[in-house]
Amino acid sequence: MVRAGLSSFSLHLPDALGDPWFELNEDYKGVSGAFRQTATLDLLDFPAEVAAQGVKCVDLCIQHIPNIEPGYLAELRAAFASADVELYQLLIDIGEVGSPDPEKRSAGIALTKRWMEIASELGSSGVRYVPGDSAPTPETISQCGEAFQELYDYSVACGVEAATENYKAFNKQAGDLLQVLDLSEREYGLVADFGNAAGPNKYDTLSQLMPRATAIHQWVAIDEDGAIKGDDSKRCLTMARDNGFDGPIMLLGGQPYQQYRDTREMWQAVDELRGEVRSVFGDAFQG
């Protein structure tokens, strides 16, 4: 189903959550970090807040989780269930799974596996992870394919669906990303991020990703006056529609990021982004 979703990184939500940044401790049994500003929305209230705006699907960034004790994770899982909101993916943004250094690669795999376990405890449908910021080479692409095979199999054991995204240096080029997935010999989900594809090869990148995309991270480009560049937005969404896309479209925001946020209220922007999607998908879009 083509449906609207939000990420805990969408628009003003990181600010509302207190600009949190938490990371696993060395023993993986807890997290350390801080709220870098005063929160106006508790993460436990996040599902009900988005449900009140008609959104029933969300992604959650790992750095926004302030506590991984079983009791807290159970409480957060219950909050999603009570609000009837699907936790679609836990976004794992760290770990150098594609590193040429075997120790760093092993550490990245272990870190990703631990977050998979946490995603399972939260009742998340899936997880999204990426190889990292290492440069892709024939050797590291091959090694990453093996790592992705191992990680996929672990995701199955955890009961969550594995996906990756055109995010960070290793996955910047669509050809490298798709080669890793092919080498893994597993049925990976694929997030096509409009913003991460930005640049002179944007539409070529998206044309390669869209046939296999299972989710979209929607970013719109805006001009100097803050207006959405409609031709760009509709071209990206039309590419998705024409490739038979049938999944969640996460409403992330606009680029330049700060300018878009400064010129829109949170839910005004969400409605604007929904409108862009609806103008292309019509009645097929739920949200």
| pTM flag (> 0.85) | yes
pLDDT at 287: 85
HSE (side-chain half, CA atoms, 13 Å) at 216: 31
Task: Specify the pLDDT at position 31.
Answer: 98
Helices 102-122, 70-83: crossing angle, 10 deg rounding: 50
Tell me the pLDDT tens digit for each residue of 174-187. Answer: 999 999 999 999 99
Q: How confident is the model at residue 13 (pLDDT cuts 50, 70, 90)?
A: very high
**What residue type is 133 in one-letter code?**
D
Q: Distance (Å, rounded) from C-alpha 129 to C-alpha 164? A: 5
pLDDT at 275: 98
Q: Is the separation of the CB atoms in 128 and 90 below 8 Å?
A: yes
pLDDT at 262 over 90: yes
Q: Is the pLDDT of residue 278 over 90?
A: yes
Residue 11 pLDDT grade (very low, low, confident, very high; cuts 50, 70, 90): very high
Q: What are the φ/ψ torsions at residue 161 (nearest 5 degrees)?
A: -90, 135
> Under CATH, which number does the domain 2-286 receive?
3.20.20.150
Q: Could you read off the pLDDT of 101-136 as tens digits, one per residue?
A: 999 999 999 999 999 999 999 999 999 999 999 999
